[in-house]
């Protein structure tokens, strides 16, 4: 999805991960975001699942589109084995929603899972973005993500950089973004003060100007900056609006 100039805030379009609004249904999310400059959304299974009926999926897609929200992707999905039926149903959902990518994780040393994921993704022209989840997760460090990416030349497989979880693992954007380069296919904009204390993006350890400069210089990143803020599930919109303004200032 290539953003039009009217959709961008500074240099990039800004989206939101729907898990930020896990206490809201889709119509309520549309209402919450109606007066913001958020123009994209990465949906998660809290709001629509792969086994949803075609009518439900279309209702979700049309509702979001009517609110000016494009579905950029779907996730984060954990694939523990090469169950092609589950993989196919998930990627069919992403395709029906109009998404470009699926953020995901899978066992890093399981080539069968990786090859099945890539094979099915190619049928739907989807990118696959490995998501890091912080200390003790399947993918914690940039080395753990990069080691899997280095095993395949397929550019369809890349990374969904969660800035906050990398911070929790002790890694700054200045280490992560250059290491992954053009394999940065998606980004969750999240911030932490320390390993346990989440902050509104731009008010913790993330330097947003530096992050945008790194994306410009080190990647071919085209997707929205997807805000994911988990600290206030009942009223996340003020934090989302604050982040949008911070991104705008950083990209000026």
Q: Mean pLDDT in the chain? A: 95
Residue 148 lies in a domain: yes
Mean of pLDDT values over 137-157 = 97
Quick one: which H or E segment has residue 88? helix 84-97
Residue 6 lies in a domain: no
Spatial separation of the C-alpha atoms in residues 76 and 96, rounded to whole Å: 17
Whichever domain contains 242, its CATH number is: 3.20.20.150
Share of the chain above pLDDT 90, in %: 95
Higher pLDDT, 1 or 7: 7
Residue ranges of the alpha helices (H) in 103-207? 111-124, 142-149, 163-168, 173-180
Structure token digits, residue 104:
């995901």
Spatial separation of the C-alpha atoms in residues 208 and 106, rounded to whole Å: 29
Residue 7 lies in a domain: no
pLDDT in tens, 18-46: 999 999 999 999 999 999 999 999 999 99
Residue 184 lies in a domain: yes
Residue 2 lies in a domain: no
Number of domains forming the structure of the chain: 1
Domain that holds residue 105: 12-250
Instruction: For tokens 């240099």, name the residue.
Output: 11
- State yes or no: pLDDT of 13 exceeds 60: yes
How high is the pLDDT of residue 159? Answer: 98
Spatial separation of the C-alpha atoms in residues 126 and 95, rounded to whole Å: 8
Q: How many CA atoms lie within 13 A of 74 on its CB side?
A: 26
Residue 93 lies in a domain: yes
- State yes or no: pLDDT of 150 exceeds 50: yes
How high is the pLDDT of residue 2? Answer: 42
pLDDT in tens, 40-97: 999 999 999 999 999 999 999 999 999 999 999 999 999 999 999 999 999 999 999 9
pLDDT in tens, 119-129: 999 999 999 99
pLDDT tier at 251, thresholds 50, 70, 90: confident
Residue 200 lies in a domain: yes
Phi, psi of 114 (to 5 degrees): -60, -45
- State yes or no: pLDDT of 4 exceeds 90: no
How high is the pLDDT of residue 252? Answer: 76
How high is the pLDDT of residue 10? Answer: 65
Mean of pLDDT values over 207-224 = 97
Residue 1 lies in a domain: no
């Amino acid at each position: 999805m290539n953003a039009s100039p009217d959709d961008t805030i500074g240099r990039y379009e800004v989206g939101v991960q729907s898990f930020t609004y896990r206490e809201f249904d889709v119509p309520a999310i549309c209402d919450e975001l109606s007066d913001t400059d958020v123009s994209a959304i990465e949906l998660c299974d809290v709001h629509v699942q792969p086994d949803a009926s075609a009518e439900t999926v279309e209702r979700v897609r049309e509702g979001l589109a009517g609110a000016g929200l494009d579905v950029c992707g779907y996730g984060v999905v954990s694939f523990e084995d090469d169950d092609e039926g589950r993989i196919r149903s998930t990627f069919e959902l992403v395709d029906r929603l109009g998404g470009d990518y699926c953020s995901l994780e899978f066992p890093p040393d399981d080539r069968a899972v990786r090859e099945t994921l890539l094979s099915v993704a190619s049928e739907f022209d989807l990118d696959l973005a490995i998501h890091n989840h912080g200390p003790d997760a399947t993918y914690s460090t940039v080395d753990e993500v990069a080691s899997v990416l280095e095993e395949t030349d397929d550019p369809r497989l890349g990374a969904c950089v969660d800035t906050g979880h990398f911070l929790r693992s002790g890694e700054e954007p200045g280490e992560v973004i250059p290491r992954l380069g053009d394999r940065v296919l998606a980004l969750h904009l999240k911030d932490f003060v320390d390993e346990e204390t989440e902050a509104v993006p731009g008010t913790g350890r993330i330097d947003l100007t530096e992050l945008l400069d790194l994306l410009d210089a080190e990647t071919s990143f085209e997707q929205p900056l997807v805000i994911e803020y988990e600290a206030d599930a009942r009223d996340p919109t003020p934090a989302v609006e604050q982040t949008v303004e911070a991104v705008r200032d950083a990209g000026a």
